Structure 1
Amino acid sequence: MEELLNNFGQTIKDARLATGMTQDALAEQTGITTRYIMAIENENKLPRVKVLFKLIRALKISADTIFYPEIKHTDKKKEHIIHMIQLCDERDLQVVTATVKALLDTK
């Protein structure tokens, strides 16, 4: 548990950098200060649940990335596609399903 807490800031920083987002941009998206982002990433500051929720959503990462870092999340493209699919409504899901089926039928 201690290692998880000690690596939390690095996990957030890695996710932020993977998206190409600056600390300022993340702060703006989450409604917290850049200084607070810096404290989380560099000083092992642990945010409140409400801030954690905002960070996960702004960075578009799975909560598993934070709570289960031992699970290697190596295919970021697939994870991003899954995240986008989860945001789809029923009509969008029908379009996605048809598109994926068409792609697979051409193989």
Structure 2
Amino acid sequence: MEELLNLFGQTIKDARIAAGMTQDALAEQVGVTTRYIMAIENENKHPRMPVLLKIIRTLKISADTIFYPEIQHTNREKEQLLHMIQMCDEKEIKIAAATVKALLDAR
């Protein structure tokens, strides 16, 4: 558990950089100060759950990225696609499934 807590800040920093965001931009979107984001990334600060949820949603990452860092998330585009699908309603999922099926059939 201690190792997981120690990796937390680096995990957030890596996800932020992969998303092409600055600390300022992340802080603004999450509703905290840039100093707070810096403390999370560099000083082992652990945010309260509401802030953590906003960070996860803002960075469009899976909670698994934070809670199970040992699982390698090597393909960020697939992870983002799965996140977007989870946000879809039933009609949108049917459209996405048909689109993916058409892409695979065209191979």
Normalised by the shorter chain, which TM-score bucket? Answer: over 0.9
Name the amino acid aligned to 2:14: D
Moved >6 Å (runs of 4+)? none
Q: What do residues 29-49 of structure 1 show as CA deviations (whole Å, max 9, x unaligned)? A: 100110000000010011111
- Please provide the CA RMSD for this pair: 0.8
Q: What do residues 2-41 of structure 1 show as CA deviations (whole Å, max 9, x unaligned)? A: 1111111000000000000010110011001100000000
Name the amino acid aligned to 2:9: G
Q: Percent identity?
A: 74
Name the amino acid aligned to 1:9: G
Aligned residues: 107
2:21 aligns with 21
Give 1:94 shift.
1.6
CA distance in 2, matches of 1:60, 1:7: 19
CA distance in 1, matches of 2:88, 2:63: 19
User: Aligned with 1:78: secondary structure?
Assistant: helix
Give 1:89 shift.
1.5
Quick check: 11-20 or 80-89, which moved more? Answer: 80-89
CA distance in 1, matches of 2:68, 2:90: 30
What stretches of structure 2 of length at least 5 have no aligned partner?
Answer: none
TM-score, structure 1 as length reference? 0.96
User: Equivalent residues in 2 for 1:56-71 (5 A)?
Assistant: 56-71=56-71
TM-score, structure 2 as length reference? 0.96
CA distance in 2, matches of 1:33, 1:24: 8
Name the amino acid aligned to 2:66: I
User: Equivalent residues in 2 for 1:65-84 (5 A)?
Assistant: 65-84=65-84
What stretches of structure 1 of length at least 5 have no aligned partner?
Answer: none
